[in-house]
Amino acid sequence: MSGYTSYEHLMTLVVHSGARAQALEETVVHEYHHHWRIAEAQLLESQETLLSRLVLEGLAEHFVQEVLGVTTAPWATQWTDQESHYWWPVYASHLNLVGSDTSPYMFGSTDMGVPLWAGYAMGYHLIRWFRRQHRTLSWTTLTQLADVEFVPRV
């Protein structure tokens, strides 16, 4: 099961015949949120940074939890808060990376010592930290916020 949402507002799903129905549901909701955020925040692919990717993925997975009540994505449970706090300084020092330079931080890199799906896990925790401090914000507001608003204030 795989999904992709383009900045041109197209959603692509690749579904293996053996995919579970729950995985399909979660992927559709996750990708829908990408579509919503790209439109609402007027995001441009040419301005995509590591920070914007972290926020995009983190928000989408939290939206899955909101809509479906659960997420089975491995990156949502991959790290404890302690582990995410350990990795945050690494990510914080690279937030302005653009293009393919962001991929090792999102997908992982054995050469760089970055675990598989690390950026998805970091994005999930970034949004988790923000939502703990801003519990009453609506999904519309969360979806429209600028990426920089999600950066923890130390």
pLDDT, tens only, 54-104: 999 999 999 999 999 999 999 999 999 999 999 999 999 999 999 999 999
Q: Which domain holds residue 39?
A: 2-150
The domain tally of the chain equals 1
Q: How confident is the model at residue 154 (pLDDT cuts 50, 70, 90)?
A: low
Greatest Cα pair distance, the chain, in angstroms, is: 47
Average pLDDT over residues 25-50: 95
Q: What is the pTM of this model?
A: 0.95
For residue 153, the model assigns a pLDDT of 85
pLDDT, tens only, 114-139: 999 999 999 999 999 999 999 999 99
One-character DSSP codes across the chain: -EEEE-TTS-EEEE--TT--HHHHHHHHHHHHHHHHHHHHTT--GGG-BHHHHHHHHHHHHHHHHHHHS----HHHHSS-HHHHHHHHHHHHTTTT-BGGGGHHHHH-BTTTTBPTTHHHHHHHHHHHHHHHH-TT--HHHHHHS-GGGGS---
pLDDT, tens only, 9-26: 899 999 998 889 999 999
CB-based contacts of 118, cutoff 8 Å, min separation 6: 78, 87, 105, 106, 107, 108
CA angle 145, 91, 65 (to 5 degrees): 50
Whole-number Å distance between alpha carbons of 80 and 8: 35
